[in-house]
Amino acid sequence: MADAADRWPGDFRIFAGLCILWSAVLMARSILNLSAGGAPLEDVIFGVKFYGNEARVTMALQAIVIAAFGIGILMRQRWGAILALLYMAQVLTGHAIFITSNLGVESQRVHVKIASAESPVVLLIAVYVWYRSRALLRQPSA
């Protein structure tokens, strides 16, 4: 039987598995240039919007980071939880920057509405990752 230090919450491992699946979707979108309605691919990092090939690169990088922390969590590695927390901080910061910097931009109005609508969900995911990571990060290193 594994000792208490080796046990990570089952729901957190399920979350990690879902993150790996999501990273595969993002990677497929970036490689296959899949976007809605034939519009150029768009991606946002730290509140900066990228289009076309730049968006493909940023989306692929995000897919790699998401897969990395998913794998780290599944392997019960502290760096996986730390990377997940850092990524979620980037997502929250990016949402806030994007919304505030594009609030009065007419061409971005629909994207600001979308970002505003998804912000509570992103915040809940970030709080969940923080909550599940707290005890794991307090454990002594192996």
Task: Identify whether the C-beta of residue 30 lies closer than 8 Å to the C-beta of residue 51.
Answer: no
Q: What is the rounded CA–CA span in Å between residue 127 and residue 116?
A: 17
pTM: 0.86
DSSP string covering 85-117: HHHHHHHHHHHHHHHHHSTT-GGGHHHHHHHHH
Digit-by-digit pLDDT tens for the chain (142 residues) are 455 556 789 999 999 999 999 999 999 989 887 766 667 888 889 888 898 889 999 999 999 999 999 999 999 999 999 999 999 999 999 999 999 999 888 988 998 999 999 999 999 999 999 999 988 888 766 5
